[in-house]
Chains A and B, each alone.
Chain A
């Protein structure tokens, strides 16, 4: 297990290193730079050159990347090209809010996907499965933007039940104002519940046909006990992995929702930073998102390995349970 963990962490770090270079080069390859974006149309050529020099943009890209990399290893993520605010501070003020948003949505998705995916998977091909499948396919086909707009129209503008924009009073966190979280969470929930349910349904359907479940059924196990004690444990490993993939997707996909509801998260910041060619901010926020996604996927693999019935039973009987984790 330790070797597995070390190997995975090593891979994650290598991925982050490659990603940081790719992000830096990609932002640099975009037409224009932060000096051009900041100078506007009315600046003179001298003012543009001065700004470019001050932001260090006159230096070669590799030199700038290595300087950034060196500083970031000491914990200094650089400063925003927009107004010089430290990226670390910016990230600290936004990251928690995004995690709260996505984590709340994922918990709701996990509950709903279990409630919908279990009956569908157990009764594969039957009316309940067809109903759940067509519902989830419909949700999958709808873009987040549309889902969020419909929620806004119904619950904020129509019924007036919930705020349309996540305006959080000074000094407060979003969790202190749950009403501001409802619509953004609901939008992410609808965006993610389709795929998670389908993944869980597939896992349950496969598990339901496994010899272990078949044997339990032949031994007279039925109903909730069969589902809870035999099907769910067998389906849990792939289901957790599916949920981890959904979570990683939602992390990146929160951009639209955050922008639409003006939720103070990292997605909307990343979009602004790209438009402004704010390389240090793109690096900081992009890598934070990527790192979190890698961590979630790693956790997903770990938990699913621990939940895997076959590896667990093998471990119990003295077998090489870790094989499953490779």
Chain B
């Protein structure tokens, strides 16, 4: 009979502990990174995705991963490029010509572009691609072209040319066409790895919410010489993405929080990069004109003067953001950079509030974590408003709720929001200031370029003087990667097609 002693039990415990740690050690014995091959020409890039609900149909996918994957697999018509005279650089298209009266656009395809099944890309494919967001019931943001062009009346004139009439005369059609339109094959209704495509990469494998393996398209018409394979990893949590980078599970991660970016920038072996204008989202605070105090222009001006923009850029974004001037679309060709930068002037703000008879007014600011730093910025704005005597409070919503109930959102007296990078005129929401609406219509349709610019600038000045939005800051998508990686281009989302990965 064995004596059950404390030592005996501790002995069993020790055996168990050794067993458990042995199991742990056995499990950790394989040092290989689970994300895949570490070959020099395989790039592992992590983005926020849509979990197991993900599909390859980019018309219904709103995440960064959907966007990046689609642009690698399907050739874009072009990209917004303020350095070019027309404001766009072309991809699948050879040219976009506009009639003098701005009522019709002529799109011409390159002659060296074909699908992965060997068939050439024709104007029928181009027409189908433009109609597909509507035909395949795409999410609203994919349907911008259909708002400006009469797609039903569009017609092909030869195998490579398409004539595209506009709904009303518009001068910014090139921007609409190149903002996010991609080329797919005529008749495509389902998106699988086998679906013919004509982008720089072909889909080798796909598992929703986990990984997409892309292999370079040998017939790609572009000159880019990117990695042989790109593994797009779907990692939803921003901190998990950074952890993947730190533990060599990924070479590139997108959507890094401002604080993590600051920490990574100080570490060896990593590079932090941020998008630049025009690829910046505007973080805005909308003063609802239905809310009585905001009908007074002096109150709106007071609120704008109260906000310490530099403090937001410095403390929330650690310098990785651009100061806003209450006018949207910074960096786009028509952005009026001659407007005086709004200063931080709490004394003048207090004076304006007193003059308007709203000294000590109460207001509730609603915000949610929909854009990095949105809640933190809103917190600072509330502090700034308290400094000028406004009894301001912050209502913080859980993730996803801010826009989910859009009707309720529109009723809020004072709410945070954001818009992804997009040209001002085409994305202007009419209603607040009728004079601005008229000027925007002229800015889009006047036959003379100087006239259009003049109207746009006048509209922006009015928004700057009387508008109901505070745009204190423009926020980039912040990415981080190992020092071995270079050549990533920052568009609205990172373009990996020309990335280069040095061997370890």
A6 within 8 Å of B (CB atoms): no
Asked whether A165 lies within 8 Å of B247 as measured between CB atoms, the reply is: yes
User: Is B393 part of the contact surface with A, judged by Cβ < 8 Å?
Assistant: no
Taking a contact as CB atoms under 8 Å apart, the answer to whether A262 and B244 are in contact is yes
Q: Which residue of A lies closest to B36 (CB)?
A: A169
B404 CB contact (under 8 Å) in A83, A169, A227, A277? A277
B residues contacting the other copy or chain, number (CB 8 A): 76
Contact residues of A between 5 and 50, Cβ < 8 Å to B: 30-34, 36-44, 47-48
Assess whether A181 is in contact with B51, with CB atoms less than 8 Å apart.
no
Nearest CB in chain A: distance from B332 CB, A: 15
Q: Which residues of A contact B247 (CB under 8 A)?
A: 156-157, 160, 163-165
Q: Say which one of B208-216, B433-441, B483-491 lies at the interface with A.
A: B208-216
Known: A42-B427, A165-B240. A90 touches B208 (CB 8 A): yes
Cβ B235 vs Cβ A262 within 8 A: yes
Asked if A259 is at the interface of the complex by the 8 Å CB criterion, the answer is yes
For chain B residues 388-402, which have a beta carbon within 8 Å of chain A? 398-401
- Do A171 and B207 have beta carbons less than 8 Å apart? yes
Is B208 within 8 A of A169, CB to CB?
no
Q: Does A163 contact B33, Cβ atoms closer than 8 Å?
A: yes
Q: In residues 143-171 of chain A, which contact B (Cβ within 8 Å)?
A: 152, 155-157, 160-171
B254 to chain A, nearest CB (A): 14
> Is B8 in contact with A85, judged by CB distance below 8 angstroms?
no
Q: A170-B210, A262-B244 are in contact. Are A180 and B34 (CB under 8 A)?
A: yes
Q: Are A161 and B28 in contact (CB under 8 A)?
A: yes
Residue in A40, A47, A167 whose CB lies within 8 Å of B244: A167
Whether A83 contacts B50 in the complex (CB less than 8 A), given A48-B406, A164-B249, comes out as yes
Identify which of B6, B246, B405, B417 contacts A31 (C-beta below 8 A): B405
A223 close to B5 (CB less than 8 A): yes
Tell me whether A224 and B8 are in contact in the complex, defined as CB-CB below 8 angstroms, given that A51-B140, A163-B33 are known contacts: yes
Task: Return chain A residues, CB-CB under 8 Å to B420.
Answer: 42
Contact B28 A182 (CB under 8 A): yes
Per-position 1/0 for A56-98, Cβ under 8 A of B: 0000000000000000000000001011110000100110000
A130 CB within 8 Å of chain B:
no
Tally of contacts, chain A with chain B, CB under 8 A: 233
What's the tally of chain A residues with a CB closer than 8 Å to chain B?
Answer: 80
Which residue of B is nearest A174, CB measured? Answer: B34
Alpha-carbon distance A90/B403, docked complex (angstroms): 25
When distances are taken between beta carbons in the complex, the residues of chain B under 8 Å from A30 are 401, 404
The residue from A32, A93, A182 contacting B408, defined by CB atoms under 8 A apart: A32
CB-CB under 8 A for A93 and B52, given A31-B405, A163-B249: yes
CA distance A156 to B398 in the complex (A): 30
| Cβ B404 vs Cβ A32 within 8 A | yes
Which of B28, B52, B237 has a CB less than 8 Å from the CB of A260?
B237
Given the interface pairs A43-B140, A94-B52, the reply to whether A262 lies near B400 with Cβ below 8 Å is no
Q: Across the interface, which residues of B come within 8 angstroms of A119, CB to CB?
A: 6, 9-10, 13
Q: Which of B1-31 contact A (CB under 8 A)?
A: 1-6, 8-10, 12-13, 16, 20, 24, 26-30
With A44-B140, A165-B235, A180-B34 in contact, is A36–B16 under 8 Å at CB? no
B408 touching A31 by the CB < 8 A rule? yes
B293 at the interface (CB under 8 A from A): no
Q: B35 interface residue, CB < 8 Å from A?
A: yes
Compute how far the CA of A120 lies from the CA of B239 in the bound complex, rounded to whole angstroms: 39
24 residue pairs from A and B, CB less than 8 Å apart: A31-B404, A36-B403, A43-B140, A44-B140, A47-B140, A48-B140, A80-B53, A83-B61, A119-B10, A119-B13, A156-B243, A163-B33, A167-B249, A170-B36, A170-B211, A177-B34, A181-B27, A223-B1, A223-B3, A223-B5, A224-B8, A264-B52, A268-B51, A278-B53
A residues whose Cβ falls under 8 Å from a Cβ of B: 30-34, 36-44, 47-48, 51, 54, 80, 82-85, 90, 93-94, 108, 111-112, 115-116, 118-119, 122-123, 128, 152, 155-157, 160-171, 177-182, 186, 221-227, 259-262, 264, 268-269, 272-273, 275-278, 281
Residues of chain B having any CB pair with chain A under 8 Å:
1-6, 8-10, 12-13, 16, 20, 24, 26-30, 33-36, 50-55, 57, 60-62, 137, 139-141, 143, 147, 205-211, 213, 233, 235-237, 239-241, 243-244, 246-247, 249-250, 398-401, 403-408, 417-420, 422, 427
